[in-house]
Amino acid sequence: MDILSNLELGFSVALSLQNLFYCFVGVLLGTLIGVLPGLGPVATIAMLLPITFGLPPVSALIMLAGIYYGAQYGGSTTAILINLPGESSSVVTALDGYQMARQGRAGVALATAALGSFFAGSVATLLLALFAPPLADLALQFGAPEYFALMVLGLIASVALASGSVLKALAMVVLGILLGIAGQDVYTGVPRFTFDITDLADGIEFVALAMGVFGLGEIIRNLEDEHTRSVGVQKVTGLMLTREDFRRIVGPVLRGTALGSLLGILPGGGAMLSSFASYSIEKKISKTPQRFGKGAIEGVAGPESANNAGAQTSFIPMLTLGIPSNPVMALMIGALIIQGIVPGPNVVNEKPDLFWGIIASMWIGNFMLVLLNLPLIGIWVRLLTVPYHVLYPLIVGFCCIGVYSVNNNVFDVFAMALFGVVGYVLVKLECEPAPLLLGFIIGPMLEEYLRRAMLISRGDPLVFFTRPLSASLLLLALAALVVVLLPSVRKTRDEAFKE
């Protein structure tokens, strides 16, 4: 078997003492920046690029890759503990993870996230090793119409994110899209909704919006009635999953892994969708959807698996085609060029030690991460015993430095302050912020792909239905719409709302 000798080569590279060391440094740094809200892998990798100049290319890439997927592990920690999602993928984790933490099940939520991520990461790495080239070809089949259909599907499914009124959830999605498209128009360069503010030319920063409406909004709300209600969490009840918990998460983890692996390959936002999609699916097929949003363990297991699987498979276009699918991959391509390796489809054949070494290191890195993260859970949970009035000023401080570090731009800090107030108002009016954020992420892509599809097809709307992939995705979207609007489903939702 060819694959076996390749994997053998990969492990022989990845298991060298030096590469093990850099893999460990990478995942450790990744966990750290993942836990620190706002500070993401892009900023960190950009800062660390200069050190990689002196390293051999394989070690450099192993470390940078470790930072990236390590950050996906760490990113869920603050979402669960203090309702502070630092990245788009952990927005979904915050929904049920934070509720679990308030019920004293933070340890279980964190363990679920770590185990789900480990399983998903391992499976996705295996997929990467076995099927990278054909999967990359699949990604190339995705043109603008397919992406548009995928975004529509995502938006319709997103209504399931809300646990309250469907109407308000839809309104939040639309409002999110409008906020998302603020900034310079990709097609004409015309600024939209920028009020002549230069800092708005590239749109509103996601981190400012997410940390504002979730993190700061929650802090203000908790300070509202600190004298009447206990703001802290209930007593921590055990750190490990019970047999019942395990039974509940098997399905979500498997489905999330499959979904994340597939969507992760798609450059242009596929990976971001996967955690949202996983949550929606789990809620739809659950026999007890009313538990979602109130601390359902499935709502943590599915999206966390999806997000980590997507993080691994998003390497496929970069490694096999030399095309970056997100800013982190673009940075890694930059690192390769500085090392004197021209990225492209030939890297697999010309530098097999690099290609297979990175793949093998991903599995090793995932293993290190689960070993690193499980013992850390005890420490994180202890953090929750700190009284809230001591904890929250620190959270505010982390939010500030985190949002500033994204672009080194003070405007983002001010925007976050404003969105903090907005977040509080939304909570008071019982409008949920999760659909708003999803609209914000998907909105600009939806418009971009729609307009691109129309341009390329010369304005023929049939293009969405004559291409088999796009047509089937739109059919799925239609089915999802029917499910959302079906009276019986609506009834259960309304009942759930009244509980």
Partner 1 sequence: MSRFIRNPKDVITGGLLLALASMFAYLSLDLPMGSAVRMGPGYFPLMLAGLLALLGLLVLIGGLRFEDAGEPLSLAAIPWRALGLVTLAVVVFGLGIRPLGLGAAMGLSVFLSALASRRFRLPTALLLTALMVAFAWLVFIKALGLPLPMRGPWLGGY
Partner 2 sequence: MTHPNPRMAAASTEAAPRPSATRRMVVLACAALAALAIPFSPARAQTYPDRPITMVVPFAAGGPTDTVARLIAESMSKTLGQQVVVENVGGAGGTRGAGQVAKAAPDGYTILLHHIGQATSATLYRKLPYNVLTDFVEIGLVTDVPMTVIGKKDLPPTTITELVSYVKENKEKVIYGNAGVGSASHLCGMLLMSALASPMTTVPYQGTGPAMNDLVGGQIDLMCDQSTNTTGQIKAGKVKAYGVTTPTRVKSLPDLPTFGESGVKNFEVAVWHGAYAPKGTSPEVVAKLNNALRVALQDPKVIARFADLGTEPVSQDRASPEAHKAFLEAEVAKWKPIIEQAGIYAD
Q: What residue type is assigned to position 123 of the chain?
A: V
Q: Which residues in the 211-240 window bind partner 1 by CB under 8 A?
A: 216, 219-220, 223-227
Q: Which of 3, 5, 8, 51 binds partner 2 (CB under 8 A)?
A: 51
DSSP bridge partners of 192: 183
Q: Nearest Cα to 301, choosing from 255, 261, 239, 233?
A: 255
The 410-439 contact track toward partner 1, x by CB under 8 A, reads xx-xx-xx--xx--x---xxxx--------
Q: Which does 431 bind (CB under 5 to 8 A by kind): partner 1, partner 2, none?
A: partner 1
Q: Nearest-5° angle of CA 27, CA 28, CA 31?
A: 80
Query: Do the Cβ atoms of 253 and 123 come closer than 8 Å?
Result: no
Q: Which residues in the 125-164 window bind partner 2 by CB under 8 A?
A: 139-144
CB of 343 to partner 2, least distance (A): 5
Note whether 214 binds partner 2 by CB under 8 A: no
Q: Which of 27, 114, 332, 395 binds partner 2 (CB under 8 A)?
A: 332
Q: Which residues in the 44-83 window bind partner 1 by CB under 8 A?
A: 44, 47
Instruction: Supply 170's token pair.
Output: 């839809």
Residue 6, φ and ψ in degrees, nearest 5: -65, -45
Q: Is 141 exposed, middle or buried (0-12, 13-18, 19+ CB in 10 A)?
A: exposed
Note whether 33 binds partner 2 by CB under 8 A: no
Note whether 48 binds partner 2 by CB under 8 A: yes
Q: Which does 140 bind (CB under 5 to 8 A by kind): partner 1, partner 2, none?
A: partner 2
HEC sequence for 52-102: HCCCCHHHHHHHHHHHHHHHHHHHHHHHHHHCCCCCHHHHHHHHHHHHHHH
Query: Do the Cβ atoms of 108 and 239 come closer than 8 Å?
Result: yes
Helix (H) or strand (E) holding 191: strand 191-192
Q: Nearest-5° angle of CA 169, CA 217, CA 430?
A: 35
Q: Nearest Cα to 11, choosing from 434, 410, 363?
A: 363
CB of 427 to partner 1, least distance (A): 11
CB of 322 to partner 2, least distance (A): 5
Alpha helices in 241-269 (DSSP H): 243-265
Q: Nearest Cα to 160, choosing from 292, 275, 295?
A: 292
Within 10 angstroms of residue 165's Cβ, the number of other Cβ atoms is: 16
Q: Which of 180, 322, 435, 443 binds partner 2 (CB under 8 A)?
A: 322
Tokens 């998003």: give the residue.
314
Q: Which of 11, 102, 104, 185 binds partner 1 (CB under 8 A)?
A: 185
Q: Which of 78, 89, 163, 325 binds partner 2 (CB under 8 A)?
A: 325
The 77-106 contact track toward partner 2, x by CB under 8 A, reads ------------------------------
Note whether 460 binds partner 2 by CB under 8 A: no
Work out the end-to-end distance of the chain between its first and last CA atoms, rounded to an integer number of angstroms.
58
CB of 412 to partner 1, least distance (A): 8
CB of 220 to partner 1, least distance (A): 5
Q: Is residue 183 classed as helix, strand or coil in its secondary structure? A: strand
Give residues in contact with partner 2 (CB under 8 A): 18, 21-22, 42, 45-51, 53-56, 59, 139-144, 184, 186-189, 191, 198-199, 201-202, 267-268, 317, 321-325, 327, 329-335, 337-338, 340-347, 407-408, 448, 452, 455-456, 458
Give residues in contact with partner 1 (CB under 8 A): 32-33, 36, 39, 44, 47, 165, 167-168, 170-171, 174-175, 177-178, 181, 185, 187-188, 190, 192-193, 216, 219-220, 223-227, 387, 389-390, 392-394, 396-397, 399-401, 404-405, 408, 410-411, 413-414, 416-417, 420-421, 424, 428-431, 447, 450-451, 454-455, 458-459, 461, 497-498
